[in-house]
Amino acid sequence: MAATSTRLYCFTGGSVGPWRVDAVLPVIGMALVKPQRLAVSPASTTPPAPHSWQLSGITSNDRYVERTEKLALLNKQEGLGRPASTHAALIPIRKSAAWWALTQDERRDIFERQSAHIGIGMKYLPKIARRLHHCRDLGHDQPFDFLTWFEYAPEDSKAFDDLLAALRTSPEWAYVDWEVDIRLTFDFG
Ligand code: HEM
C-alpha cells in the first residue's frame, strides 16, 4: 500500500532528472555525494542507474500549526511548480534524540514561541513555495527525519538565504544534528 501512496516522494540524485545540482553544502554533519542531476518522483520507484543516493519521505498531517496560523498560511502561500520558480533547494534534516525525547507541547514551545519558525517563514511567502516530507514514519532505514523542498525564482535567492540564516540561529536549530543544503536549477536540457 505504501509503495503506491501519492504522499510518498523519492528524491534520486544521479545522472537523470530535470533538476541540475548546482551545489551540495554540508551545514551540520556529513556531506552527501554531489550528483549531476536530481529526479523527484511520487511514490517509490526503482532508482535509475547509476545513482548516488535516493531519499524518501511522506507528506503528512500538521503537527504544530494552530488554526489562525493555518488560515494565514493558506491565505499567503503558493504551490509548487510555478513557471518562474526555476530554482529549488532540497534540505534533508535530522533532529537529535533530545528533540524526539520532548513532549509535543515542549516541541511546539521551542518551534514557535521560542523560535518563531512560522512567524519567520510567513515573511517569505509567497516568494518561497515549500513541501515538507516526513521520513521517520517510513521506518528505521531513512537517514534523515525530514526532507524539506523549496522552489523560488532566481531573484528570490537572496531572500531564501536570509530565511535560512534566520532559522539556523533559532533555538529550534540547536536540535538539528544533520543538515545538507542541496541547490538546484530547473534545466531540461
Ligand atoms: C518558506 C517559509 C517557511 C514556512 C512558511 C514554514 C512553515 C512551516 C510550518 C507551518 C511547519 C509546521 C508543520 C506542522 O504543523 O507540522 C514547518 C515545519 C518544518 N519546517 Fe518550515 N517553514 C518555512 C521554511 C523552512 C525552511 C527554510 C526549513 C529548512 C531549512 C524548514 C524546515 C522545517 C522542518 C524541518 C519542519 C518540521 C519540524 C518538526 O516537525 O520538527 N522550514 N514549517
How close is the Cα of 75 to the center of ligand 1, in Å? 17
For 107-135, letters b (16+ CB in 10 Å) and e give: bbebbbeebbbbeebeebeebbbbeebbb
| Cell 517563514 belongs to residue | 121
* 124 touches ligand 1 (CB under 6 Å): yes
pLDDT tens digits, residue range 47-70?
666 789 999 999 999 999 999 999
For residue 21, how many other CB atoms are within 10 A of its CB?
Answer: 19
pLDDT tens digits, residue range 114-160?
999 999 999 999 999 999 999 998 977 899 999 999 999 999 999 99
Q: What is the mean pLDDT of residues 148-177?
A: 98
Query: Residue 2 pLDDT more than 80?
Result: no
What is the distance, to the nearest Å, from the Cα of residue 51 to the centroid of all Cα atoms in its chain?
Answer: 20
* 163 touches ligand 1 (CB under 6 Å): yes
CB 189 within 8 A of CB 37: no
For ligand 1, mutation pick of 61, 106, 148, 183 (most atoms within 8 Å of CB): 148
Q: What is the mean pLDDT of residues 169-188?
A: 97
Phi, psi (rounded to 5 degrees) for 74: -60, -35
Q: 169 pLDDT band (50/70/90 cuts)?
A: very high
For ligand 1, mutation pick of 58, 63, 64 (most atoms within 8 Å of CB): 64
pTM, whole model, 2 decimals?
Answer: 0.96
Q: 4 pLDDT band (50/70/90 cuts)?
A: low
For residue 30, how many other CB atoms are within 10 A of its CB?
Answer: 8
* 130 touches ligand 1 (CB under 6 Å): yes
